[in-house]
Structure 1
Amino acid sequence: MAQLSDDCFAFGGPLMSVDDAVGLIAARVTPVQEIETVDLKNADGRVLAAAIAAPLPLPPFTNSAVDGYAVRSSDLSGGTEQRLAVAGRIQAGASAYAPVEVGHAVRIFTGAPMPEGADTVFMQEDVQLDEAGRVMLPPGLKAGANVRPAGEDIAAGTLALQAGQRLRPQHVALAAAFGLTQLEVRRRIRVAVFSTGNELVSPGAFRAAAQLFDSNRFMLMAMLRRLGCEVSDLGILPDDRASLSSALKQVAGAHDLVLTSGGVSTGEEDHVKAGVESVGRLVLWRMAIKPGRPVAMGIIDGTPLIGLPGNPVASFVTFVHVVRPTVLALAGALQEAPVPLPVRAAFAYRKKTGRREYVRVSLRKAADGALEAIKFPREGAGLLSSLVDTDGLVELGEELTQIEPGASVGFLGYASLMS
């Protein structure tokens, strides 16, 4: 398990900026050290433990990029049509059995190795055969056209995949192209998740008139699994300090991260803060972010704990900006901050300085072809429909105080925030 000091997240300021929070996490969280070997077909989504240098060049041999006729460029005269006898035929997967002779062409197919001496390929669509079976080559083709040299993509010995790379299908494809069958990856992060509150019941359970079905826990578990975590569902813990303390103490040693939802505000019935402090150390972060200011982070027996707000939109936003970078740091993954897409605002908005805000929006294409962001018509961090019926978030930086229609704003799609 990750072992952190009790004061590693200590912060003296009244409000922590989003950038400060991410920087603190990246600098002070130690990745898990256990390494696993996985088959290539199971490598998608895992974090590569060691860098991979190209064991061979890609492509490994010089080959034709098209179906056509391979020739020696020295046989071509710049301004007139050439007619060359066709001597030989090379299919993909076959060896180039003989050099191409002076004044001759070789029929060749995409991916087939270039015969010795040939350095240019005419596409079959651009040529014709005469009655004698000679290929008629039009003028103007540059030497080297339609040929893929060995190592054109990646030279042997160069860095191909970095340690900490979260493997995606294209990375798996590259490893396969090198002939690798297994990869060394860091083990999956183990996260315990629970909600707090007597007002919550799990879906399928009896719900009293004054209770709500717990939605946050299922949202958070789904987001964690998208990050490749192993998730333990601890259910709903009651608003009781002793129960919270006991549960936290029990699960901390068996997990790399403990994640809670609800109970981190300053109300009389918000017991997470006191529960954590009775078995570990908690530094309550009041982040300069909206929605989601009340965020708690602490250490229990060396295991980090993050407490997210109970309102679902606030929980979603703070997961993206606090939990996601923490999980990536624990997994030894390279930090990949989502890059906002510039779009045009189709709304007006006012905000305070010194706080980063995230506005839920839908995208539409305007009459002039530009992408416009349409603000969800209602406010409120408890509106799940505002996450379901929109496409993502517009990020408004700390220095901004207002947005007018037509202004350029940064859009973060939900897909980029949950991958």
Structure 2
Amino acid sequence: MLAALFSQRHLTRNILVAMALGIALGVGLNLLGVDAESPGFLVGQVFPTIGGIFVRLLQMMVVPLVLFSLMTGTAALDDVRKLGRIGIKTLAFYLGTTALAITIAIGLAVLVQPGAGFTLNYDHDFAVSESPPLAQVIMDIFPTNPIQAMAEGKMLQVIVFAILFGIAMCLAGEPGKRVLAIANDLNEIVMKLVMILMLAAPFGVFALVAKTFALEGLSAIVALGKYFGLVVVALAVHAFVSYGGILKLFTGLGVINFFKMMRRVQLFAFSTASSNATLPVSLENAEHNLGVKPSIASFTIPLGATVNMDGTAIMQGVATVFISQALGIDIGIQGYLMVILTATLASIGTAGVPGVGLIMLAMVFQQVGLPIAAITVIYGVDRLLDMARTAVNVTGDAVVSVIVAKSEGEFDQAVYDADEPEWQKD
């Protein structure tokens, strides 16, 4: 009975139950006086330890999963020119959806006016890391030491090395085929390890969610309720309407089936608030439940986890309008266009930089003349919103992967049309 409870078949149900229990316990503890100043042993030690171990186990899988899957996927492409075509399509869709996301956010914010009547107080110091020059960002994509890049988790550098190694395997003839066979075996083993780690997911999700709501509570949401609610609505519109429409338009596939297959990935993204930590689950889901062939998924999913930030772009759009309205500053149509352009380009330009969401928001504020210190006003609820926007980000990664795979003939229709996800089958 215990084995059935924690089996892959019931994993989605168990994660939902764990999340609900975590929220209930976290809010209850917060109402009893638990906060960041006095977290207590349970919230300060037990939950961070359990949740931290779970996230570390997921992060442990990221580099080997990306390395082997991208190597094998690239080597499987007989035509190297095909890889360039796939890359252009992928980046075009990622940039396009990011621009659409922030446009929707600004449009809703101008309509709803979340900052109207809000008394702004930002008399606090706010330090944000300075974003590097564009030339440095471009150079940092290419590793000087691939082993060091793997050790430090610099995913863009790992991606570049894996692609180049895969191309070399493709061009090396018989030696390349022998190495490819080994890489395929290693990739299968890594995927199996991911499935094993998934069994611990309900415990990790419970601890992470309980800790977050115990420390943040509902008071922060109430204080910034209009802003918080609008960001959530904008995220939902983009996740279901925009992505659903784009998927239907470019592929003709059933949208409902897509979201049914995405449930577990979205839950993982919500609980971890990290696209990189969710990457193993995203990649496994794209290949085994969405019908994306490994040659495509191994490129689009890791790249999306690194550069696709539609959820963050939505937060930036709403935050810019919210702060400008609270300060009584009219940034005008030109300012809104500048926000769209800056956030879209920054989604790639600041990839891999720590604290990327705040850096991007600071860059946007600078472009339209808003005080960077005002970021402190929304910082209190950002952790909760970060969970939701990460779920949107991974959804976008999957949508683009399916579109690119369908256009390249690297798509398995039978897998996509399955009545139930792979993890629910006996």
**TM-score bracket for this pair, using the shorter chain length:** under 0.3
> Which protein, 1 or 2, shows the higher relative CO under an 8 Å CA cutoff with sep ≥ 6?
2
Higher helix share: 2
Higher strand share: 1
TM-score, normalising length: structure 2: 0.20
Give the greater-gyration-radius structure (CA). Answer: 1
TM-score, normalising length: structure 1: 0.21
